Structure 1
Amino acid sequence: MVHWRSLARLLFATATLVLSSCGTGSYVPAPPPPPPPSANTFTNPLMIQIPIGGTVQDCPDPSIIRGQQPNDTYWYIYCTTDPLNDSDKDALGNFNFHLITMHKSSDLVHWTYVGDVFSLRPGWVAPSAGLWAPAIKFFNNKYFLYYAASDTSLPGGGAAIGVATSMSPTGPWIDSGAPVVMPEDNSCCPGTRRAAIDPEVIQASGKNYIYFGSFNGGISARTLSADGLTSDPASEKPITIDNRYEAANIVLHGGFYYLFVSASNCCNGPLTGYAVFAGRSPNPLGPFLDSQNISLLDSRVGGTPVLRMNGNRWVGPGHNAAFQDLAGQDWFVYHAVDRAAPFFAGAVGLTKRPGMLDALDWVNGWPVVRGGFGPSELPQPAPAAQPGDKNLYTPTFAAPDQPGPLMSSFSDEFDSSTLSPQWTWVRAPAAGTFGLTGQSFRFDTQNADLFVDSNNASVLIEDPPSGDYVVETRVNLNVPATGCCQNFVQAGLVVYGDDDNYIKLVNVSIFDTRQTEFAKELAPVPSGYPRYGSTLAGPPADWTWLRIVKRTAAVGETYTAYSSNDGLTWVRGGTWTHNLGSSARIGLVSMGGPGFTAQFDYLHVSGLAP
C-alpha cells in the first residue's frame, strides 16, 4: 500500500509505453523464443530494464505469477502506481505515475518493463486516484488482475477493489466496469470510509475468497463469485484487528493457510519501519494465530515476524508476494527503501520503493526470510526459474542475540527504598508520581512526550557501559487490555542521546490495540525528511520483557529489538542504525498521556554472549 496522501493528477508516459484498458478478449500470444540460460546469482534490488533505455527503480507492492498458458515460460511482476525512475517525467517536468506497471523475466533475475495495465483509469475510479497493490491470479482460463483504487467516483467516494481480465499476462486488460468490493463505512466510525485496499484472492475447497483492508478498518475476507468479478458483503468476516496490518498474502503450506501481513509505515523515507508478520490457520477464514497462539484479531496483536530490517542499506521491507520456484524453493518478492536514496530525485516525501527478492525458509512450521537474516544486499543464489534448473540456495539460520554476564554496576533490581545514585533525571517528574515499592520502580504515565518538537517527558537515565551491550527490563503498563482509546500511552526503554536523538522500545496503546513499538528519532535532518520512524516487535502482555541489543558498527551503531511474554521465548524485531555515540545513556520512560502507571521490575545491563 502507498501511504494515504492525495496523489497529484496522474500523468503517464508516451503511448508506446502503455497499454489500453479496452480491447478484445480473444488475444492469444505468439509462442515466445526459448529462454536464455538462467542466471546463477542475483543482487537486490531487482534489475528491471526499460526497452527504450534506463532502468526501473521503483516496484512497490509487487505481485508475481509464472506464465500459465502453453509455451509461456516467462515470469511476470506487477507493481503499484508510481514513476519508473527519477527521470520519468513529462514535458512539464512532472512525474509520470504509471497505472500498474508490468515486467517480465525468464530467469527471475533479469527483468524487462513491458508496459502498464491501464492508460486511463476505469470510469468508476476517481480522476486523481492511485491504483495500488495489484494481485495477479489465473483461473477460468484467463488472468485476473485485482487492484485497489484509492478513491472512487461513486456516491460517497472511498477506496474500493477492482479487477481487470485478460487472455495474456501483459494485456490488453479489460476492467470489469464496477468494483469487486464497493466502498464501505468503517465499523468504528459511521460516515467515514474504511481503507478497502490491498486485495488478495485464493481458491480453497472449491470456493473463491477475496481479502482486503488496511489499518483503517482492518483486514476482512469475503466469498468471491465463481466468475471472480463480484463479492458477497453478507459473507464478510474479520481477519485482523484494525490499526495494525495491511497487504494480505496467503499461501497453503503443510496443511495450514499462512497469512502474511505488513505493519507500520510503508513510505517514510529513510525511517520507514514496514515489516512482515504471519499467522496461520487450518481454515482460510481463520482465526489466524501466531507462533505463540496469539490471534491477529486480539487487542494485544499477534503476529510472528517474517521479514524485518537488519541494519544494512534496506529499511521498511514489506508488502510481499510468496511463490515457489521450479525446484520447490519458496521465495518472497517485496519492496524496501534504500536509506541512501529514499526519495525520488527532487521529490522529498515521495518514497522510492525498489522491488526485492529473497528466499523464504521454514523453521518449526513458521516462515522466515533468508533464515532470519532479512533483506539481502550481497549476491544471492538465483531461483530455479525454468524446468531443469537446480536449487542453488542453501539456507543458513540467524542465531538470536544472547546476553552475557550481568554488569551489576549498570543494573538495578529496584528492590531498595530509594533510587540508586547511578540514576539521574532529564526533567525530574513531580514528587509522588514515581518511587520504589520495594519490588519495582513505579513511574506514573505523564501527559508529556518525546516526539519531534514535543520534548517535555521525564527520562530516568544512567551512563552506559563501554562497547556493545544488552539492556533489558520487565514492564507492566496498566492500560486496559482491550478497548479504545488511550492513544500513545507508553512505557519502556530508551537509549538516549538527547531529546531529538534516541532509540525507544515501548509497550504502547494505539487506538484499540496494544503493541510493542521500536522507534528511532534523529536530528538534524535534510529539509522535508522525517525525524521519527517506528517498527514493531512481538505482542505485549500484562508484563512484557523488553530488550535492546546495541552494537558498534563501522559507522555509528545498530540497535536490535526483542520482546517476550514470559522471559524465555523472545521475539526479534527490526534493527535500526543510529549515530548516538558511546555516551548515549540508558533510560526509562512512562509518557504519552496521564492516568496510568508503569511498573519496572528491574533494569539489567549485560555484555553480549559470544
Structure 2
Amino acid sequence: MTRVTPLSAVLLLAPLLAVGAATPATSATAETSEPPPTYSNPLAPTVADGGTVDSCADPAVLQGQGDEAGSWYLYCTTDPLNDAETSGPGDPVFHPVPTMRSDDLVSWEYVGDALPQRPAWAAPSAFLWAPDVVHSRTHDRYYLTYVVTDTADAVSGEPGCTSDSAIGVAVSDSPTGPWTPSDEPLVGPRRAGPGCDFYWTYDPDVLGDSVDDTAVLYFGSYYGGVFGQHVALTADGISTTGQPTRVTLGQRVEPKVDPADLRRPTQPDLDAAEQGAATQVSIGNRYEGTNVVRRGDWYYLFGSATNCCAGPLTGYTVFAGRSRSPLGPFVDREGSSLLAGRVGGTPVISMNGNRWVGTGHSSAFRDTSGRWWLAYHAVDRDDPYFAGRPGFTKRPALLDPLAWVDGWPSVRSGRWASDEPVPGPAAQPGQVSAYRPDPVDPDRTGRLLPAYSDEFGGERLADRWTWVRRPDPATYRVAGGRFRFATQAADLYVDSNTASVLTEPAPTGDYVVQTKVSLDVPAEGCCHNYVQAGLVVRRSDDAFVKLGHASIWETRQTEWAKEVPAAPPSFPRYGNSVVGAPGDETWLRIVRRTRDGAEHYTAYTSQGGRRWVRGGVWTHELGPGARIGLVSMGGAGFTATFDHVRVWRLE
C-alpha cells in the first residue's frame, strides 16, 4: 500500500459510495431560461494579453462545487499556450498545467498555471502531464492528480534516469488553487527491468467528479499497461488502498512512441469485499489516457489508441468498453474483451474527413440538463505544429455532444468532430441545449462489380491480377476457393518497400472493396511484430491506404494506415489508426468516396460479415490510376488466406 498522507484504519476499510454520472452542485444557483450559446471548434480560451490558448492537450473538465457551482474549469497538460510562445529565438514557454474558467462551457479564460513549482520529489527536467481534478464532498476540497515524467534519483533509486515517471497529487480549497503538492508520489515509479527500465506511470483519472472519501484511481499507459487502484481521500491528500487492478496489460519492450494522457469519470458502488482485488481490465499496447464514467448500471472505459502526436497523420482515436464493475472486465459492443489479445474497443470518435485528426485523450461529462459531452484534443491537419517548431504537435481542445446509441457512446451520433457551429451545452441550471442528435448515414453497398470481384475459383489467379515484386511461386496458390499467401519478411513502410503486392485496377468513381482474411498468427501472446495481412488501395509504394489484421506486441489489431510520398522536413509520411478487433476470420472493407473534390477513404471491420465497426476517414490523393491490392508481410512463418475480393458501387 502506498501512502501520501496518514489514514485511519476505519477510513481504509470504508466502502466506496455510489455517485451519479455527474454530481449536481452542492449550493443553489439561480436558474436561467437564457439558451446556451452556439459555438464552433476549437475552444480558444482568451489570455489577458489578448492572445488565445491554441493548444490544450489532454483536456479535463470539472464543474465547480459550493461557491464555485456556477463555474466550469478546464485543465490541460504542460505545453506552450500558442505560437507566440514558440516562434521566438529562445526556448518555448511551457505552462505547468494551464487552467481555464468558464460560465457557459464554450467561452473560456485562462486563469493561470496550477503547478508553477514542481513537487520536491520531481527531477529538474520533469514535465507535469495529464491533469485530472476531483472534488471531495466529505472534505470540501479539490484534488489534482498529474504525471511527473521524471522523478528524483532518491525516489526511483536509479541515478540519471529520465523515464522514471510517477503520479502526484495536490490539494486545494479552490479549483484554481493555490495547490499544495504531496511530499511523495501517490503512485511511484514502477520498475520494468534493470537500469533505467521503468513502466510508463502516466495518465491519472479519479473515478468521479464529486466524491466522498473513497474512489478508484486509474493510471498507466502502453508500456506497463493501465491499472485501477482503490484510493481514499483525506483533507491532506490521497492514499492508495488494497492492490492495484490491471486495466490494461503492458507491452514487454518500451515503445518508441510519445504518449499523451488521460481523463476523468463518475464513481462506483463497491462493497468492502471487492476492495483490494487485483483484476486485469485491458491488454497493453492499445490504450492510454483512460477515462472511466458511470452511466446507469454500467461503467464505461474510454481509452485512446495509437500515436497522439504525428502532426497531420495523427490517427489517435477514442474507443470504449463497458463493465458492471469499475475494475472490469470491460467488453466492446461486439463482445470482444479489452483483455483479449484480439483486443476489443468500440469507436467513440475518430477522424471524419474534415480538418480534425488525432481526436483523443477525452473527458466525458454531463451538463446541468443531463446531456453528455466529450472534451478532447485534436490536430488541425492544416496547422499541425507550433510555429517555428515543426514536429511539435499542437493539440487544441474541442468539445462535442456525446450520444448513446444502443447503450454505446458516440460523438455526435457517429458524425464525430464538428467543424461547424453547434448548439452549446447547458452550463447553468434551467438551461437546455438546443442540440439534437442527427445520426450519420451508413455507407451501403450498391451494385456488385463482377469485373473487379474475385471468388478465387479454379487453380490460378485471374489475368487482371498483377504483382508488384512477384514472390516465389511456392509461397502462394489458389485452391478450394481461397487465395493463400505466405507472410513475407518484408514491408511497405516509408522507404522500406520490399513486400509483394497483388494488385488489380480499382474502378473509377465511388466504390466499396471488401475481403475476408484469416491470418494464422496465434490469437494470444507476444510477439510477432509486425506480421500482417490485408487490403490496400495504392497509387504507388509510397502513396496508399492499408487496412489489415496486424500482430503488435501482445495484441492483434486491425491497423488502418496512410502513407504519403513526400512531406516537408520533420513531417511524417506514415500515420495509423486502428478499427475493430480481428477474429479467426476478419472482414475488411474500404469505402472510397469523393467529397468536396477530395478522396475520402473509410475503414470498416467485422468478425462475421454482418455487424460492422466503422473506423476513421483518411483523406488522400490516389487518383484515377489507383489499384486495389492484397498484402501478407511483416515477418515470415505464417499464412494469410483470402476468401474473396468483392467490389461494389457505393450506393
TM (norm. structure 1) is 0.92
Q: 1:577 to 1:284 in 2, by over 3 A?
A: same
Partner of 1:99: 96
Structure 2 distance, partners of 1:571, 1:91, is: 45
Q: 1:515-556 CA deviation, whole Å, 9 max, x = no partner?
A: 000000002111110000000100000100000000123343
Q: How far is 1:220 from its partner?
A: 0.7
Corresponding residue number in structure 1 for 2:21? none
Please give the alpha-carbon distance, in whole angstroms, between the structure 1 residues aligned to 2:39 and 2:182.
Answer: 37
**Does structure 2 conserve the Cα–Cα contact (< 8 Å) formed by 1:405 and 1:607?**
yes
- CA distance in 1 between counterparts of 2:212 and 2:51 reads 45
Q: Is the 8 A contact 1:218 1:242 kept in 2?
A: yes
The 1-side partners of 2:87 and 2:567 are apart by: 30
The answer to whether structure 1 residue 287 and structure 2 residue 296 are counterparts is no
Q: Which is further off, 509-518 or 190-199? A: 190-199
Q: State how 1:445-484 maps to structure 2 within 5 Å.
A: 445-484=487-526
Contact 1:243 1:513 in 2 (8 A): yes
Instruction: Give CA deviations for 1:330-383 in whole Å, capped at 9, x if unaligned.
Output: 000000000000000110110000000000000111110001000000000110
SS in structure 2 of the partner of residue 344 of structure 1: coil
Q: What is the alpha-carbon distance in structure 2 between the residues aligned to residue 301 and residue 149 of structure 1? A: 29
Aligned to 1:230: 239
Q: CA separation in 2, counterparts of 1:479 and 1:304?
A: 23
Aligned residues: 578
Per-residue deviation, 1:38: 6.1
Q: Name the residue aligned to 2:369.
A: 327
Aligned to 1:360: 402
Cα separation, 2, equivalents of 1:346 and 1:85? 11
Aligned partner of 1:597 in structure 2 is 639
Contact residue 219 and residue 242 of structure 1 kept, 8 A = yes
Change (3 A) 1:95 1:233: farther
Query: What is the aligned partner in structure 2 of residue 571 from structure 1?
Result: 613
Cα–Cα, structure 1 residues 86 and 408, in superposed 2: closer, same or farther, change >3 Å?
A: same
1:508 alignment counterpart: 550
Alpha-carbon distance in 2 for matches of 1:593, 1:89: 42
Partner in structure 2 of residue 173 of structure 1: 179
Displacement of 1:87 in angstroms is 0.3
1:196 aligns with 2:196: no
Distance in structure 1 (CA, Å) of the matches to 2:229 and 2:452: 54
Determine if the alignment matches structure 1 residue 146 to structure 2 residue 145.
yes
4+ residue segments displaced more than 3 Å: 31-39, 89-92, 203-207
Q: Give CA deviations for 1:196-235 in whole Å, capped at 9, x if unaligned.
A: 1001112589742110111111111111123252224734
Name 1:4's counterpart in structure 2: none
Equivalent position to 1:340, from 382, 399, 417:
382
Corresponding residue for residue 189 of structure 2: 183
Q: CA deviation at 1:150?
A: 1.4
Q: 1:529 to 1:169 in 2, by over 3 A?
A: same
1:66 corresponds to: 63
Partner of 1:275: 317
Gaps of 5+ in 1: 1-30
- CA pair 496-91 structure 1, distance change in 2 beyond 3 A: closer
Q: Name the SS for the 1:409 alignment partner.
A: helix
**Cα distance in 1, alignment partners of residues 29 and 387 from structure 2:** 37
Q: Aligned partners of 2:281, 2:165: CA distance in 1, in Å?
A: 19
Check whether the contact 1:445–1:596 (CA below 8 A) recurs between aligned residues. Answer: yes
Query: What does the per-residue CA deviation read over 1:157-185, in whole Å, with 9 as the maximum and x for residues that have no partner?
Result: 51111111110111111101211111112
Deviation at 1:109, TM superposition (A): 1.1
Percent of aligned pairs with the same amino acid: 51
**Which position in structure 1 is the counterpart of 2:541?**
499
Aligned to 2:116: 119
Q: Deviations over 1:27-85 (max 9, x none)?
A: xxxx9999996642000000210012111100000011111122541110000010000
Change (3 A) 1:72 1:253: closer
Q: 1:112 to 1:34 in 2, by over 3 A?
A: farther
3-state SS in 2 of match to 1:577: strand
Give distance in 2, aligned partners of 1:38 and 1:109.
Answer: 13
Secondary structure at 1:219 match in 2: strand
1: CA distance between counterparts of 2:591 and 2:522?
A: 29
- Of the candidates 459, 462, 466, which is equivalent to residue 424 of structure 1? 466
Question: Using the alignment, how far apart are the partners of 1:222 and 1:606 within structure 2?
Answer: 49
State the one-letter code of the partner of 1:209: V
C-alpha contact (below 8 Å) 1:332/1:369 kept by paired residues: yes
Q: 1:463 to 1:170 in 2, by over 3 A?
A: same
The answer as to whether partners of 1:82 and 1:99 remain within 8 angstroms in 2 is yes
Q: Residues 108 and 480 (structure 1 numbering): CA distance in 2 closer, same or farther, change over 3 Å?
A: same
Q: Compare 194-203 and 473-482 and name the one that shifted more.
A: 194-203
Are the counterparts in 1 of residues 32 and 431 from structure 2 also a CA contact under 8 Å? no
Aligned to 1:220: 227
Worse-matched range after superposition: 42-51 or 116-125: 116-125
Amino acid aligned to 1:112: E
Against the structure 1 CA distance between its residues 87 and 233, is the aligned structure 2 distance closer, same or farther, given a 3 Å change threshold? farther
Judge conservation of contact 1:551–1:557 (CA < 8 Å) in 2. yes
Q: Is the 8 A contact 1:243 1:512 kept in 2?
A: yes
Distance 1:434 1:91 in 2: 57
Structure 1 residues 397-436: aligned runs within 5 Å: 397-436=439-478
Matched with 2:23 is none
Letter in 1 for 2:168: G
Code of the aligned partner of 1:231: T
What is the rounded CA distance, in whole Å, between the counterparts of 2:54 and 2:144 in structure 1? 22
1:132 equivalenced with 2:129 (yes/no): yes
Structure 1 residue 388: Cα displacement: 1.6
Q: Which residue of 2 aligns with 1:26?
A: none
Distance 2:245 2:616 in 1: 33
Counterparts of 2:58 and 2:73, CA distance in 1:
14
Higher strand proportion: 1
Shift of 1:292: 1.4
For residues 608 and 301 of structure 1, the distance between their equivalents in structure 2, rounded to whole angstroms, comes to 30
Contact 1:164 1:176 in 2 (8 A): yes
Query: In the alignment, is the contact (CA less than 8 A) between 1:448 and 1:593 conserved in 2?
Result: yes
Residue deviations 1:549-589 (CA, integer Å, cap 9, x gap): 00123343110000000000100010000011111100000
| Distance in 2 between residues matched to 1:186 and 1:232, nearest whole Å | 22
5 Å matches for 1:352-391? 352-391=394-433
CA contact (8 A) 2:213 2:232 kept: no
Shift of 1:89: 4.9
Distance 2:87 2:626 in 1: 48
- C-alpha distance in 2 between matches for 1:32 and 1:390: 16
